[in-house]
Amino acid sequence: MTWTDRREKFRAILAGSRCVFPATVFDPLSARMAVDLGFEAGVFAGSVASLVVLGAPDIVLLTLSEFVEQAHRTTRAVSLPIVADADHGYGNALNVMRTVEELEAAGISALSIEDTLLPMPYGAQGKSKLIPLEEGVGKMRAAVAARRDKSLAIFARTSALADTGTEDAVKRFSAYAKTGVDGIFVIGAKTREQIDAVAAAVKLPMILGPVPPGLADADYLSQKGFRLHILGHAAFFAGLKGFYEALKAIRAGTPVKDIPVPPHDLIQRLTRAEEYRRQTHDFLGGDQGHRD
C-alpha cells in the first residue's frame, strides 16, 4: 500500500459521518498492535515522541529530524493511516514548510500545525501563549503550499479555548479554515457550549483533543463534525508502568517465569514471524531459526 493509499483511507474517515478514536502509536510494534486490534487510525504525538526518543518531557527539545525519523520507523511498519502532531512546525512559516515536506516523505497521512508560541520564551513562567493571528494564518498557508501529495491532510490547531477564550478561538479557527487546510484541531474544550460555538463557525472536519468525561460522547461529537477524538495517551503510560513493574519484580528476585508476558502467538503476529520465515526459506535456502 502506497503512502497515498493510506492518506485516502484517512480522508474516507474525514468524509464519513462518525467520530473515530485513534490509537496512540510511536514505534513499529505499537502501530501493529493498533492494527491487530482493529483501530482505523493512529496518532503520533509530539509529547510521546519526546518521551520515546529523548526520555524528556514535552517542552520542545525534540528536533524535526528526530521526530521525522521516528515517524518513518512507525509508518513503514503498517498500512494504518497515522496522524502526526507536528507542534508549531519547528519554527516560523518557512520551517513549517520543511516540516510538511519531511513528514509527507515519511509517510504520515495527516498532520497538525499549532499556533502556540514555542519553544516557551524567557519569562513565560510556564504559561502558554499564542502567536499573533496573522502569523498563524501565514503558517497554515505555508503548510498547505508545501504539500505535494494532495491527499495529505493538514489540520490547523489552536489551544485558544483554554488560553484566550471562546471568542478568540472561533476567530482563529474561522481564519484558519480559509487558508486551505483540511480541518481544525480543537484543544482545551471544557464545555458543550464551547464545542457548539466552534462547530457553528467552522464546517470543516475536526479533531478533538482530550476533554472532560462528560464530553466524550461519540454520537454528539459525530453530529458536530468531529471525525477523530484523541483520548490521550493512557495506553503508552500503562505500558511504561508494566515495564517498570516487571523490572522491579526481577530486581527483587522474582523468577522470570513468574513475570506475566504476552502470549507467544501475539509476539509472533506482531513481529510478522511467519512472513520472515517464508522469506528465509525463499531467499536463504531454509529456515535459519531466530535469535533471542
pLDDT of residue 9: 98
Judgement on whether residues 174 and 243 belong to the same structural domain of the protein = no
Instruction: Indicate the burial class of 208 (C-beta count within 10 angstroms; 0-12, 13-18, 19 or more).
Output: buried
Judgement on whether residues 184 and 259 belong to the same structural domain of the protein = no
Backbone angles phi, psi at 116, to 5 degrees: -75, 145
For the domain that residue 52 is a member of, what is the CATH number? 3.20.20.60
Q: Which of 70, 82, 75, 78 is nearest to 22 (CA)?
A: 82
Judgement on whether residues 80 and 112 belong to the same structural domain of the protein = yes
Cα 155 to Cα 175: distance, rounded to the nearest angstrom = 13
Range of the domain at 271: 239-284
pLDDT in tens, the chain (292 residues): 899 999 999 999 999 999 999 999 999 999 999 999 999 999 999 999 999 999 999 999 999 999 999 999 999 999 999 999 999 999 999 999 999 999 999 999 999 999 999 998 888 877 889 999 999 999 999 999 999 999 999 999 999 999 999 999 999 999 999 999 999 999 999 999 999 999 999 999 999 999 998 898 999 999 999 999 999 999 999 999 999 999 999 999 999 999 999 999 999 999 999 999 999 999 998 765 555 5
For the chain, report the end-to-end CA distance as a whole number of angstroms: 31
Q: Answer yes or no: is 165 within a domain.
A: yes
pLDDT of residue 287: 62
Judgement on whether residues 142 and 50 belong to the same structural domain of the protein = yes
pLDDT of residue 290: 57
Judgement on whether residues 23 and 76 belong to the same structural domain of the protein = yes
Judgement on whether residues 216 and 278 belong to the same structural domain of the protein = no
Q: What count of other Cβ atoms lies within 10 Å of the Cβ of residue 115?
A: 25
Question: What are 55's three cell numbers?
Answer: 526520555
Q: Answer yes or no: is 289 within a domain.
A: no
Number of domains composing the chain: 2
**Residue appearing with cell numbers 462547530:** 199
Judgement on whether residues 176 and 91 belong to the same structural domain of the protein = yes
